[in-house]
Amino acid sequence: LAALGLPMTAPGMMPQANGVAPGMPAPMGGAVPPAPPVSSGPPAGHDSGGGIDKAEEVKCIDPDGNPYQITSLDSFAQCPWPPSLQAEIQRCGFSKPSQIQANSWPLA
């Protein structure tokens, strides 16, 4: 439970100073480390799209094996979403759809 950030107590029992309820075993390795801080932007090192070069171009085929041309999205502005959602995407720092987003959303 501690690894999931949940209290290690039974109903009606108060945890001790170390976060463990009386009569319950302590977590292996001692105290539970604090959770990392939460960020509202994209994760560090996250590729927020950045475009697709020809080497990464997606090729689709239909069930019979014939090539199927799809139109991928170049920007979030091409998505038919309400302005409030568009603004939130921009506020979070995402500049372009990822490759899977750009190629799968038009099919949805």
Residue 68 domain-assigned? yes
Residue 66 confidence (pLDDT): 92
Other C-beta atoms lying within 10 Å of the C-beta of residue 28? 7
Cα→Cα distances 32→6, 7, 8, 26, 77, Å: 11, 10, 11, 9, 44
Residue 1 domain-assigned? no
Q: Quick one: CA dihedral 22, 27, 29, 33, positive or negative? A: negative
Residue 86 confidence (pLDDT): 92
Gap between the Cα atoms of 83 and 88, Å rounded:
9
Residue 70 domain-assigned? yes
Residue 8 domain-assigned? no
Nearest alpha carbon to residue 77 among 52, 93, 96, 58: 96
Residue 51 confidence (pLDDT): 52
Ranges of residues in the chain whose predicted pLDDT is under 50: 52
Residue 105 confidence (pLDDT): 86
Provide the domain count of the chain: 1
Residue 71 confidence (pLDDT): 84
Residue 14 domain-assigned? no
Residue 76 domain-assigned? yes
Per the structure, the complete domain to which residue 87 belongs is given by: 54-107
Residue 29 confidence (pLDDT): 62
pTM over 0.75: no
